[in-house]
A and B are shown apart, each in its own frame.
Chain A
Amino acid sequence: MIASRTRIGIIAGTLIIFGLGVTLYKSITLGLPLLPEQYRDVWTIESKVTFEPSEGPVEVTLTLPEDNNGWIILNENFSSSGFGFTIVEDDLGSHAQWTRQDVKNPTTMYYKAQVYEQPGELTQPDMPTNVKKLQKLQKLPSDQRQAFEFFVNGLREKSIDDESFVSLLLQAFLNSEENQEIQFILRSTHEGTINAIQQVLIFAGIPAHPIRGIQLEDGRRRQTLSVLLEVYNGSDWVIFNPADATSGLPEDFYIWKRGDNAVLTVIGGENSRLEFALVNNKLPLRTIVSMEEKSNEFAVLDFSIYALPIEQQGIFKGLLLIPVAALVVVFMRIVVGISTSGTFMPILIALALIQTTLLVGLAMFLLVVGVGLWIRTYLSHLNLLLVARVASVVIVVILLMAVVAILSYKLGIDQALTVTFFPTIILAWTIERMSILWEEEGGHEVLVQGGGSLSVAVLAYLVMSNRYVEHLTFNFPELLITLLGVILLLGKYTGYRLSELYRFREMKKRL
């Protein structure tokens, strides 16, 4: 039988070499960069089409976004089991079409695309011909036409050119509750605000069309399409946002489709919905490109985190960092010898710090734990049973968090709102432990252990939020295997802890 030390050595060595090997392989053969370089915000947009089938065959058509609107589509894929699937091209662009004879249950289809912004000018669309619509408008009953005319003339008087006309118009629609003309127009067009605005513009002879797209927000689920208006001012197309009457393309707005035609049509179904889940990864461009090129050739890439659905990717982004934090804790405890209250409490604090940012987080933590300790001192006079006492501390902690959040919001300190990211139960137990420590061994020990925990947490936070660490863990998850090997080795470390060099300092006298 091999000595356990040797065995661990072999196992750990194998793990370390395996992890590093796969990493190197991916880096050398597949060209994934080891160091983060030129970074791009790559958005993964997962579009989810849901509907409830009614009678008869089902045909779902989803108009696909095009590359030309300042965004580049890296890759896209589709999924829906049991449906026939084609991509149809026509003069309106390309559409994904799912068809099936008979559908029984509410069904979901996915279209996932990875896109990144290509800075540069927006392509200007062709002049649309709004003639048909204008003709249609002219056939309106006279009272409606008069309303349109009256409204448009009113705005014309107040505006100097087409752009200011549009601004005024959008503002008028934003405050439409008291404006009887707008109410009348809305009632007569039946088709919602955007449509009404567009009709007014057409009536005023200003070419306009809607732009449908997605306001990108990292981690956002169930985002829906938003609508902008693109208006021709005589020489250029200008984008207006009807939601706040501002002009210009909002930041992080992904243009899906220009024009009036619906993005999603479902035949043979009802209650159809189109929702998006969004995740932002900062990725080196080279990674993306080589992944795109080679994902079909190499199985390794097919098994990377990128193969997962987007929501899980987002979760893994954080999850993959935890082992690194664990390594920090193991190292600090075994090699340095810092005592922490609770073995892995520092990791949880560090995770919270990632959400809150360092200084705000530390301030929040100290505030909540400090006030919690103070209240806990009172509770200890009440002579409660332990479980009830900890439960009371949990409630007190939540109340404290609420108070901090509300106060800071009222004061306009938005960062403090992130206090909610601290794990409540952990905070409560920290308070309880610290309080006992205080009673049993005095404030000094509280400072030592609390300070130890916090410094390990801060260190873990610094490591986790490091750009390189984030890049490596996410792109080379096999490094976790290496990490496992290192931790196994540390588990067999029998050398002195750094703190013991101080602890045994008095031994010198003997030499």
Chain B
Amino acid sequence: MIRLISPRSLRSLGIVGMNQRNIGFIGKHNKRSNYRLVDDKLLTKKIAIEKGNIPVPELYGVVEYLFEIESFLDELQQRDGFVIKPVQGSGGKGILVVIGRHGENFIKSSGVEINDSDIRHHITNTLAGLYSLGGRNDRAMVEGLIDFDSSLKEYSYEGVPDIRVIVFQGVPLMAMMRCATHKSDGKANLHQGAVGVGLDIATGQSLCAVQNGVLVTEHPDTGAVFSELRVPHWDKLIELAASCNQMTGLGYIGADIVLDRTSGPMLLELNARPGLAIQVANQAGLMHRMQIAMEIIAGTDDPALRIRQAKERFASAPPLAG
């Protein structure tokens, strides 16, 4: 028997469904013309540095044409670790993480060794638009590996955990940490099997963890207990996320942030169509938070005040046990 939840209880929980998100949140608050600022990761990087003064992972280079691949591969030979991404990738597709070397070969985050030609293949696919929104021709960008904060190490398997914060006009609505698992192949994407851990907007303390729509208490690979998780540098992180609306002109976005050992919170990318699984990880609906956010926005223009009020009003009761 398939277990279902009734629409009535979903509504009373304030859960936002896909249709509601598309029409009421994204369609209403995100101007189409500003989408490219977040769909194009290079542009995001650029405005983050120029407009928001926000730290981002170091950019090693961009490949736009096929002929550039060879010289680029030579360059990569000098590096121990790097990440190749499609500039306009969607849904975490086409991200190749190399964390080390073994002679001529590269070691992926999963431990699998690949060689030159695998990387060449990956880049040509990327350029042809295989991983990109609408299958358009794309560019491949190569970034530095994130040396992520060691306090989070045990919560992620073979991948970098990132923190997704949904912000609405400067008000942080909801946050979760996305922990890579063996199943998600080192990727922090929930629908690929990563674990989402809901986080208290006020403190960064974990609330609840979910994998594939089912609640879990510990990391399936490392065994780390999620209830002990508390994300460091929380205030700085939330502040960074909240500044992204202003920067992009998009009202409702998801900011993906990583914690670097030395630089602290760094903006990885922005998403104009953030997913809804975050609600399960937080065991809370976005609808209610959105309504409160509207009140906060109506009350004050001051970014700092908006954040403070959000923290006060979205603060959780003591964490749930499982």
**CB within 8 Å for A507 and B279 given contacts A383-B117, A494-B24, A495-B7:** yes
Q: Across the interface, do A386 and B10 meet the contact criterion of CB distance under 8 Å?
A: no
Q: Across the interface, do B124 and A507 meet the contact criterion of CB distance under 8 Å?
A: no
Within 8 A of A (CB), among B113-166: 117, 120-121, 124-125, 128-130
B109 to chain A, nearest CB (A): 15
Partner of A383, one of B7, B124, B277, B284: B124
> What residue of chain A has the Cβ atom nearest to residue B210's Cβ?
A506
Interface string of B195-233 (1 = CB under 8 A from A): 000000000000000100111000000000000000000
Partner of A494, one of B6, B20, B129, B210: B20
Whether a CB of chain B sits under 8 angstroms from the CB of A410 is no
Partner of B215, one of A385, A436, A493, A506: A506
Within 8 A of B (CB), among A493-511: 493-497, 500-511
Within 8 A of B (CB), among A460-511: 492-497, 500-511
Q: Across the interface, do B128 and A387 meet the contact criterion of CB distance under 8 Å?
A: yes
Docked pose: A201 CA to B13 CA in angstroms: 91
Q: Across the interface, do B283 and A511 meet the contact criterion of CB distance under 8 Å?
A: no
> Which residues of the other chain, A, contact B6 by a CB distance below 8 angstroms?
501
Whether a CB of chain B sits under 8 angstroms from the CB of A440 is yes
Whether a CB of chain A sits under 8 angstroms from the CB of B298 is no
Q: Across the interface, do A501 and B20 meet the contact criterion of CB distance under 8 Å?
A: no
Interface string of A382-398 (1 = CB under 8 A from B): 01011100000000000
> Which residues of the other chain, B, contact A497 by a CB distance below 8 angstroms?
17-19
Whether a CB of chain A sits under 8 angstroms from the CB of B102 is no
Whether a CB of chain B sits under 8 angstroms from the CB of A414 is no
B79 to chain A, nearest CB (A): 22
Whether a CB of chain B sits under 8 angstroms from the CB of A337 is yes
Whether a CB of chain B sits under 8 angstroms from the CB of A441 is yes
Whether a CB of chain A sits under 8 angstroms from the CB of B93 is yes
> Which residues of the other chain, A, contact B7 by a CB distance below 8 angstroms?
495-496, 501
Whether a CB of chain B sits under 8 angstroms from the CB of A334 is yes
Docked pose: A494 CA to B286 CA in angstroms: 14
> Which residues of the other chain, A, contact B15 by a CB distance below 8 angstroms?
496, 500, 504, 507
> Which residues of the other chain, A, contact B66 by a CB distance below 8 angstroms?
385
Q: Across the interface, do A501 and B19 meet the contact criterion of CB distance under 8 Å?
A: no
Q: Across the interface, do A492 and B9 meet the contact criterion of CB distance under 8 Å?
A: no
> Which residues of the other chain, B, contact A508 by a CB distance below 8 angstroms?
3, 5, 9
> Which residues of the other chain, A, contact B280 by a CB distance below 8 angstroms?
503-504, 506-507
Whether a CB of chain A sits under 8 angstroms from the CB of B2 is yes
Partner of B23, one of A386, A492, A502: A492
Q: Across the interface, do A493 and B5 meet the contact criterion of CB distance under 8 Å?
A: no
Q: Across the interface, do B10 and A441 meet the contact criterion of CB distance under 8 Å?
A: no
> Which residues of the other chain, B, contact A337 by a CB distance below 8 angstroms?
18
Docked pose: A505 CA to B213 CA in angstroms: 8
Q: Across the interface, do B17 and A494 meet the contact criterion of CB distance under 8 Å?
A: yes
Whether a CB of chain A sits under 8 angstroms from the CB of B110 is no
Interface string of A361-388 (1 = CB under 8 A from B): 0000000000000000000000101110
Whether a CB of chain A sits under 8 angstroms from the CB of B112 is no
Within 8 A of A (CB), among B1-40: 2-7, 9-13, 15, 17-20, 23-24
> Which residues of the other chain, B, contact A496 by a CB distance below 8 angstroms?
7, 10-11, 15, 17, 19-20
Q: Across the interface, do A383 and B192 meet the contact criterion of CB distance under 8 Å?
A: no
> Which residues of the other chain, B, contact A385 by a CB distance below 8 angstroms?
66, 124, 128
Partner of B10, one of A334, A436, A493, A504: A504
**CB within 8 Å for A510 and B215 given contacts A494-B19, A497-B19:** no
**CB within 8 Å for A494 and B23 given contacts A441-B192, A504-B279, A506-B213:** yes
Q: What are 17 A-B interface contacts by the 8 Å CB criterion?
A: A383-B124, A386-B129, A441-B192, A492-B23, A494-B23, A496-B17, A497-B19, A500-B15, A501-B6, A501-B10, A504-B213, A505-B3, A507-B10, A507-B13, A507-B280, A508-B3, A508-B9
The 4 A-B residue pairs with the shortest CB-CB distance, nearest first, are A386-B128, A496-B17, A494-B20, A501-B4
